[in-house]
Structure 1
Amino acid sequence: MSSSIPDSAVRTYIDHHRDGFLAELSEWLRIPSVSADPDRAPDVRRSAEWLAAKLTATGFPVAEVWETPGAPAVYAEWPSGDPDAPTVLVYGHHDVQPAAREDGWRTDPFEPEVVDGKLYARGAADDKGQVFFHTLGVRAHLAATGRTAPAVNLKLLIEGEEESGSPHFPDLIQRHAARLACDAVIVSDTGMWSKDVPTVCTGMRGLTDCQVDLYGPDQDIHSGSFGGAVPNPATEAARLVAALHDEDRRVTVPGFYDGVVPLTDEERELFAELPFDEAEWLRTAHSHATLGEAGHTTLERLWARPTAEVNGIGGGYQGPGGKTIVPSSARLKLSFRLVAGQDAGKVEQSFRDWVAARLPEGIRHEITFWGATRPCLTPLGHPALQSVVRAMGRAFGGKIRFTREGGSGPAADLQDVLGVPVLFLGISIPSDGWHAPNEKVELDLLMKGVETAAYLWGDLAENWRTA
């Protein structure tokens, strides 16, 4: 019943309330909630309190500010009253990246401005705009269906430290796991392929990264007197890097690919449907050629294959001119992007064993891993994912295609702790300029996000009964 409501009822409600919605969003965007800047801590708190108050005004009977040792998060819930309805948790964040006029902004980054149908402000797309569209979306859902509560049990968790690496987020969700219990998580901190090609993301890669410190002589020594007769840590660092991939650009660490979930033929075909312009992508990447694991396309490498990247390599003399030494130390910084099926702990141990086996006597080493983010992947046939696709299809009036995300994020923490699938609902496009000067959101797409949310809750309730 709910998903069969006329689209016109939803769109009429949204049109009538668009101006008020944008005025409220602009008010929120004026709060410079930069979590990375200690001086902005009061603003991050003000942002959390502002959002909690607006969620209460929206109709959520519960809206709370949750404390962490760092910046506060916001939690809200609105029960449906139906014991068989699914419970859905929406995740986003209210903190933003640093921004200043001198960075290249045309206007004050915390004074929102609408130009040619685009709203410019820090946080407009990442992530306040995409969080806030759920407030108007749920109101449109209620108005069009005549309900007094959403068709699903709706929960929101909006963190305040995502732009600072979410250092306290895992502990927060562990501590509140019982209240966060749900059947699915919807992440509204993501984007689409383009304005003309709406897409749903079905997964993110995981990440583990490390530093490898190599030590040889107790001090820098003369390369003429000792070079070629003692191990050189800079040489061994280079040898490790050179051995990390084979001639097909596959990672050589034993067991690295254990458990990797391969792409299905259907997924490869769906990726191939996307209008990928490799030359344009290379310009975006500021690079001059593609290169990666043999047998896979660029998109497959980015979204569905694990990687090992050298983030930094150094050791010995780096000043002007020459200095003929055997350096006493060298250092590598590496990151491993992981895909569904891989275990970060096993990858880390395999890498440790691989390094130890390749280093000669006389080279001491230390490896420091900084923690891991697990990958997440939702099967194409999952009923909740199909509801997202149908809701977006109604809002955009066309076919919805599928992508994945090559990067990593805290969504996997929710998946691990709550034991539920993670879905992605975002309307941002690459030109929105996340983390860059003149960040913006397309207002028409923002309204499509509102409309998608309005359709989604009824579709989930009808097509995904959990009892």
Structure 2
Amino acid sequence: MDVRTYIEENRDGFLSALKEWLAIPSISADPEHHDDVRGSARWLADHLTATGFPTVEVWETPGLPAVFAEWPAADPDAPTVLVYGHHDVQPVDPVEAWDTDPFTPTERGTSLFARGASDDKGQVLFHALGVRAALAASGADAPPVTLKFLVEGEEESGSVHFADLMRANRDRLACDVVVISDTTMWAADTPSMCVGMRGVTDVEISLYGPDRDLHSGSFGGAVPNPLQAMSGLLAALHDDDDRVAVPGFYDGVVEADAEERELIARLPFDEREWLATAASTATWGEKGYSTLERVWLRPTAEINGMWGGHTGAGGKTIVPRSAHAKISFRLVPGQEPLEIQARVRAFVEARVPAGLRAELEFGGGVRACASDLSSTALKAARAAMERAFGVPVLFTREGGSGPEADIADILRAPLVFVAVGLDEDRIHAPNEKVEVPLLLKGAESVAYLWEELGGGV
């Protein structure tokens, strides 16, 4: 029996299991559902045991549990592949915006609606189907690579304990490549692989002047105004080419190569449709780059909010005592969050007039990650997806951020993204769904991937 036939014949069983898992409201951000997250971990552990994994464990953390599984290859010299995903889900508010109960999985046409259907339970579970399909096709008792699964339970609430969990279990998680199935493709008829995600850091800036608001007639124009200084500081964030003007901001930035830019240019991108989605009438950004390149390949500085002084009804002629702003910085490979924070601090302090005091409060930082387009593992994943879909597979990136850089750093292994979600799956929103035919293509892709990687990475 070949891989595709096995998957088609086992479609109903796969969907039945997925619906059972989706019915568990494993919302990690809500303490009232923490027992459900634990129940979700137990469900997955039982399912992976039934799939055939000889080692399956629920790993506790100070917060919510992850699931670890391992299935050694028959050949001890075969590569080791770690599959990463998460079994927790987003809250469902506003529940009245759902057409069906978010935890009563409902099929309509080719779509399966439920919270977690795409992000990430559906995309985790197709790996279990894929390994069974690979074994059925080969007639072997063990996969051609050593498979390890690590499925966390806190991704939707910040992966608070995940890095420590990986460090504590680094030896057991050792692998040659990490496969991520927690992203999207370009479109159902345009399969693609994510090859990078941006990082992020953020800061809240406060400028303090006089100890109290001052009468602008008596003091205006004679003492420094915190709001005026803040306005000048924020205006100085970008130069005339709309590049970030913080000195040293681009030091070390790894530029995308010509192949990746060419593949991005081949995507069927409709800028008018994109602008409609963005509810905007014009694009903006760093000169010399397309819209998709700005979102995926380039670092940014975004002013998220600013406030200070009088904002109520009517006029109030004052020199305000303080001004505040929040700024986030999306980062690309080659940029370190702590280094960017130091450069932003120097940028701000150099622009604070005498008589004003600056306070900066930085949030955490997430590093960017990117796959090596020339790596054997990425080429194998692309070949596997092309076998499943029957068309060329293009490359995309994600403009957002996640724990993937921590995974690569701690486990010291390259990342490969094999995912079949779609932007229209409405992840994190009411009426989340997944396309069932794409989940089956995902299972087929990874079944081929284990075979492709079995030759070595």
Bin of the TM-score, shorter chain as denominator length: over 0.9
Query: Which one of the candidate residues 108, 120, 123 is aligned to 1:127?
Result: 120
Instruction: Please give the alpha-carbon distance, in whole angstroms, between the structure 1 residues aligned to 2:316 and 2:140.
Output: 77
The answer for the alignment partner of 1:4 in structure 2 is: none
Say if 2:454 is the partner of 1:444. Answer: no
Q: How many angstroms apart in 2 are the aligned matches of 1:91 and 1:268?
A: 27
- Amino acid of the structure 2 residue aligned with 1:359: V
In the other structure, the counterpart of 2:38 is: 45
Q: Which residue of 1 aligns with 2:349?
A: 356
2:359 match:
366
Residue 274 (structure 2) pairs with residue 281 (structure 1): yes
Match of 1:296 in 2: 289
**TM norm structure 1:** 0.96
Q: 2:52 maps to what in 1?
A: 59
What whole-Å deviation, never above 9, does each CA across 1:374-414 have from its counterpart, x for those lacking one? Answer: 11111211100011101100110111111111111101100
**1:243 is the counterpart of 2:239:** no
Cα deviation for residue 114 of structure 1 reads 0.2
Letter in 2 for 1:402: F
Counterpart code for 1:432: D
**Residue 325 of structure 2: aligned partner:** 332
AA paired with 2:310? Y
Partner of residue 377 from structure 1, selected from 370, 382, 404? 370
Q: CA deviation at 1:75?
A: 1.1
* Pair 1:220 & 2:209 matched: no
Alignment partner of 2:418 out of 410, 422, 425: 425
In the alignment, is the contact (CA less than 8 A) between 2:95 and 2:430 conserved in 1?
A: no
Quote the Cα distance in structure 2 between the aligned partners of 1:219 and 1:275: 56
Q: Check whether the contact 1:101–1:107 (CA below 8 A) recurs between aligned residues.
A: no
Q: What amino acid maps onto 1:332 in structure 2?
A: A
The alignment yields a C-alpha RMSD, in angstroms, of 1.1
TM-score by length of 2: 0.98
Q: Which residue of 2 aligns with 1:5?
A: none
Structure 1, gaps ≥5 residues long = 1-7
- The unaligned stretches of length 5 or more in structure 2 are none
User: Which stretch shows the higher mean deviation, 347-356 or 326-335?
Assistant: 326-335
Deviation at 1:81, TM superposition (A): 3.0
> In structure 2, how many angstroms separate the alpha carbons of the residues matched to 1:81 and 1:213?
60
Q: Partner of 1:90: helix, strand, or coil?
A: strand
Q: Distance in 2 between matches of 1:312 and 1:71?
A: 33
Contact 2:386–2:393, Cα closer than 8 Å, also in 1: yes
Question: Which deviations, in whole Å up to 9, do the C-alpha atoms of 1:203-239 show, x marking residues without a partner?
Answer: 1111111111221111222222222211121212111
Please state how far the C-alpha of 1:83 moved relative to its aligned partner: 2.3
User: Could you say which residue in structure 1 is the equivalent of 2:187?
Assistant: 194
**Regions of 4+ moved over 4 Å:** none
* AA partner of residue 294 (structure 1): K
Give the equivalent residue in structure 2 for 1:460: 453
Aligned partner of 1:148: which letter?
D
Specify which of 393, 413, 425 is matched with residue 386 of structure 2: 393
Contact 1:100 1:108 (8 Å CA) reproduced:
no
Measured in 2, the distance between the counterparts of 1:138 and 1:146 equals 12
Please give the alpha-carbon distance, in whole angstroms, between the structure 1 residues aligned to 2:322 and 2:34. 39
> Given the superposition, is the C-alpha separation of residues 100 and 309 from structure 1 closer, same or farther in structure 2, using an over 3 Å criterion?
closer
CA–CA separation in structure 1 for the residues paired with 2:132 and 2:377: 21
Matched to 2:129, the amino acid is L
Q: Which position in structure 1 is the counterpart of 2:167?
A: 174
- Number of the residue aligned with 1:255: 248
Shift of 1:100: 4.6
> What is aligned with 1:137?
130
1:434 match: 427
State the Cα distance separating 1:184 from its structure 2 match: 1.1
Deviation at 1:101, TM superposition (A): 6.5
Cα distance in 2, alignment partners of residues 142 and 182 from structure 1: 21
Instruction: Provide the identity percentage.
Output: 61
Instruction: Tell me, yes or no, if structure 1 residue 161 matches structure 2 residue 141.
Output: no
Q: Secondary structure at the match of 1:75?
A: strand
8 Å CA contact 1:213–1:330 kept in 2: the answer is: yes
Kindly state the Cα deviation for residue 102 of structure 1 after the two structures are TM-superposed. 3.4
Corresponding residue for 1:24? 17
Please give the alpha-carbon distance, in whole angstroms, between the structure 1 residues aligned to 2:112 and 2:104. 10
Give 2:310's aligned residue. 317
Number of the residue aligned with 2:199: 206
Contact 1:205 1:408 in 2 (8 A): yes
Q: Is the 8 A contact 2:41 2:87 kept in 1?
A: yes
